Amino acid sequence: MQILYLLKYTNLLKRSSGWLLALFPLISVILCMMYPVVINDNFILDFRRIPFILGALYGGKWVGLIYLIVMLSYRFSLGGDGFYPTLFSFSLVTVATSIVSAHFLNLDLKKKLLVAAAMDGLVGIVSTFVSLTFFNSQIPLSMWILFSCISVIGVVLATLIYEVFINQFKLLHSVMEGQKLKVVSHLAASISHEVRNPLTVSRGFLQLIDSDLKDREKKGYMKLAINELDRATEIINDYLTFAKPYPESVDRIDIISEIKHSISVIQPLASMMNVSINSKIDLPPTYMQSEKRKFQQCLLNISKNAIEAMSEGGTLTIQVSRNENELRISIQDTGVGMTEEQLSRIGEPFFTTKEKGTGLGMMVSHSIVKAMGGELLYESKSGQGTTVHLAFQVEEMG
């Protein structure tokens, strides 16, 4: 299975996926039945339920059904009374796994283990009960219980192993993706500075020519050209205002003075839009590890959104408070606010409700806050305004 996964992730075997992977637990099921634990004639047991449950939970209901059919056919051909308890308990567990398997993959590790153990326990209890009551099995109850306990431990271990190696491949994948992204973002950052100047210069000259134009059609084209240039500038602003060609080293920065600096940067935009800024930042220097420019980009994007939400003017309140090692920054506006649907989509790349928006600002801010180990929360009421809360762990007070 590991080799198959590797082939898939290195793109050598693109469509190996599902069915081929589902084959392995089935082979294990058959092997378990071919080589059971034989203590004496009456004592033949095996651990087939471990691969069975694992495969059915990860593979989904169809995989489970196929396992059931194959396993029962094989078991039937072996003969003996043991077929009926098997039929009963495994049909039951197939139904149970098919119900939970739809959500299984989204569970966290603890719950996955719990579900797998529960499924195994279910088979254990049912087959013990059926064997002892209806088929007066020669195996004593204590043996059944011991066996079931071992099986539960087995399924938990197997699930753990499977999770570990799936996660390893996910990690591998994300490292590969991350490498690509890193190259692109370095490139983008180094180009952005070079591109912004020509954009500004071109825009200036276009405007100059525009004022001399008489032809309405040409004026229309000119307006389009200027708008497109503005859009390109906007993307650079949202994305890369403070980006440097190479990542800055992570420094110990004074958050408070960075916030004050950011406020001075957005002040002109605020005045232009009739927005007054009300800041409550009376804290001593507070330090944390971060890249200065990224933090500023983040604050800039959030405050710019707040100001843009108040097209009729309003108040932007920036408040900073500290509780033990947690620093809270809230940026509140009295603007248009957001609906539930908008709230749930914010931060999605290219999600924007603005005619000239890029939908990149909040995506960038989110990733910056995440990289700083912080939290970003929105509180918003349509028509009343929005508050963005940022929370960071900071250094202990010295």
Note the residues at the interface with ligand ADP (CB under 6 A): 238, 301, 305-306, 309, 333, 335-338, 342, 346, 351-354, 357-363, 386
Whether residue 341 contacts residue 335, with contact meaning beta carbons closer than 8 Å, is answered with no
* Interacting partner of 25 out of ligand ADP, Mg ion, none (Cβ under 5 to 8 A depending on kind): none
- Shortest separation between residue 338's beta carbon and Mg ion, angstroms: 13
Supply the minimum distance, in Å, between the C-beta of residue 201 and ligand ADP: 24
CB atoms within 10 A of CB 257: 12
Residue 173 contact, options ligand ADP, Mg ion, none, Cβ 5-8 Å cut-off depending on partner type: none
Amino acid letter for position 43: F
Answer with the entry of Mg ion, ligand ADP, none that 330 interacts with (C-beta below 5 to 8 A by kind): none
- From CA 119, how far away is CA 264, in angstroms rounded? 60
- For residue 351, the partner it binds in ligand ADP, Mg ion, none, with Cβ less than 5 to 8 A by kind, is ligand ADP
> Taking the complex as a whole, how short is the minimal distance between the CB of residue 302 and Mg ion, in angstroms?
8
Q: Which residues pair with 331 in a beta bridge?
A: 318, 388
- Interacting partner of 83 out of ligand ADP, Mg ion, none (Cβ under 5 to 8 A depending on kind): none
CB of 183 to ligand ADP, least distance (A): 24
* DSSP reduced 3-state for 355: coil
| C-beta of 291 vs 308, nearer to ligand ADP | 308
In the complex, what is the shortest distance from the CB of residue 366 to ligand ADP, in angstroms, rounded to a whole number? 9
- Closest approach of ligand ADP to the CB of residue 303, in Å: 9
CB of 310 to Mg ion, least distance (A): 13
CA 317 – CA 319 distance, rounded (Å): 6
Kindly tell me which of 120 and 333 has the beta carbon lying closer to ligand ADP. Answer: 333
Q: 74-80: long-range contacts at Cβ-Cβ below 8 A with a sequence spacing of 24 or more? A: 74/30, 74/33, 75/33, 78/33
Q: How far is the CB of 358 from Mg ion (least distance, A)?
A: 7
Query: Which of 116/363 has CB closer to Mg ion?
Result: 363
- Looking at the DSSP bridge assignments, the partners of residue 378 are 388
- Separation between Cα atoms, residue 255 and residue 8, nearest integer Å: 45
Read off the DSSP letter of residue 156: H
Residues that bind Mg ion (CB under 5 A): 305, 361
- Residue placing its CB nearer to ligand ADP in the complex, 26 or 336: 336
Largest CA distance in the chain: 103
**Shorter beta-carbon distance to Mg ion: residue 63 or 346:** 346
Identify what 353 binds: Mg ion, ligand ADP, none; CB under 5 to 8 Å per kind. Answer: ligand ADP
Nearer residue to Mg ion within complex by CB, 137 or 358: 358
Complex with ligand ADP: residue 360 or 390, whichever CB lies closer:
360
Separation between Cα atoms, residue 327 and residue 316, nearest integer Å: 19
Residue 174 vs residues 7, 23, 179: alpha-carbon distances, Å: 16, 26, 8
Nearer to ligand ADP, 9 or 351 (CB): 351
CB-based burial label for 27 (10 Å; 0-12, 13-18, 19+): exposed
367 binds, among ligand ADP, Mg ion, none (CB under 5 to 8 A by kind): none
> What residues are paired with 332 via a beta bridge?
317, 387
Binding at 82: pick from Mg ion, ligand ADP, none (beta carbon under 5-8 Å per type): none
Of the two residues 291 and 308, which places its CB atom closer to Mg ion in the complex?
Answer: 308
Closest approach of ligand ADP to the CB of residue 335, in Å:
5
Residue nearest to Mg ion (CB): 361
Distance, in Å, from the CA atom of 57 to the CA atom of 46, rounded to the nearest integer, reads: 20
User: In whole angstroms, how close is the CB of 275 to ligand ADP at the nearest point?
Assistant: 12
DSSP 3-state of 46: coil
The string of DSSP codes covering 162-179 is: HHHHHHHHHHHHHHHHHH
Residue 85 touches which member of ligand ADP, Mg ion, none, C-beta under 5-8 Å by kind: none
Burial 129-163 (b: 16+ CB within 10 A, else e): ebbeeeeebebeeeebeebbeebbebbbebbeebe
DSSP 248: P
68: partner contacted, choices Mg ion, ligand ADP, none (Cβ within 5-8 A by kind): none
**Residues 56, 92: Cα–Cα separation, whole Å:** 12
Cβ proximity to Mg ion, 286 vs 305, nearer residue: 305
